[in-house]
Amino acid sequence: MSQDLNNWYTAGAAAKRLAENSNRHINTSYVRQLAEKGLVDTLPLGPRTTLYKKEQIDNYIVEARGVKANRAIREKRETKERQEA
């Protein structure tokens, strides 16, 4: 099965795009962390080369530390309260 490589970013290109989306510096290691957490699909090309799904990177915005976690906790609490009511 062949892949259209135009649908994938290198780690450097993905970090650059995330930086543009988020108005802050993003390191390539952050892109790898997103992939490890399952937030971005990857396409391994070899032992040292991995590509990252363009569509997912284009739609991802890096927020300040803890913002997404706090939002998730708040939404979970609100859902639980609605279910109990």
More confident residue, 64 or 30: 30
- Spell out the domains of the chain, with CATH numbers in brackets: 5-84 (1.10.10)
Confidence class for position 2, pLDDT limits 50, 70, 90: low
Spatial contact of 54 and 9, defined as CB atoms under 8 Å apart = yes
Cβ neighbours of residue 45 closer than 8 Å, sequence gap 6 or more: 51
Average pLDDT estimate for 62-72:
78
Q: Percentages helix, strand, coil for the chain, rounded to the nearest 5?
A: 55, 10, 35
Q: Is the pLDDT reported for residue 1 higher than 60?
A: no
Q: Kindly report the pTM of this predicted structure.
A: 0.74
